[in-house]
Amino acid sequence: MTTLDLKKHLIQRISEIEDTAFLEAIKTILDSKSQILHLTAEQRAEIKQSQEQIKQGLFINQDKLDEEFEKWASEN
């Protein structure tokens, strides 16, 4: 079965479904495959600010963070 044949077959089968919950499940699957992330202006600004902080070296890597956490946890 070619991709086109498969698409036609699925369209036909989906058009016959009356179960709303099942159709919602199919929609969820399709949405997750073609998910486009929509960011607000504030989210884009925060990402840009984070990128600038990384460029300036204002970050800590996971290993160092783990060490600091272990030290903090052992003191408390």
DSSP code of residue 57:
T
CA torsion angle for 11, 17, 23, 27 (degrees, to 10)? Answer: 0
Residue 14: count of CB within 10 angstroms of its CB:
13
pLDDT digits (tens, 9 = 90+) for 26-57: 999 988 887 677 899 999 999 999 999 999 99
Write down the domain spans for the chain: 3-33, 41-75
Length of the chain as a residue count:
76
Q: In this predicted structure, what is the pLDDT of residue 70? A: 94
Q: In this predicted structure, what is the pLDDT of residue 32? A: 83
Whether 11 has a pLDDT exceeding 90, the answer reads yes
Residue 64 CA to chain centroid, in angstroms?
26
Q: Show Cβ contacts of residue 5 under 8 Å, excluding neighbours closer than 6 positions.
A: none
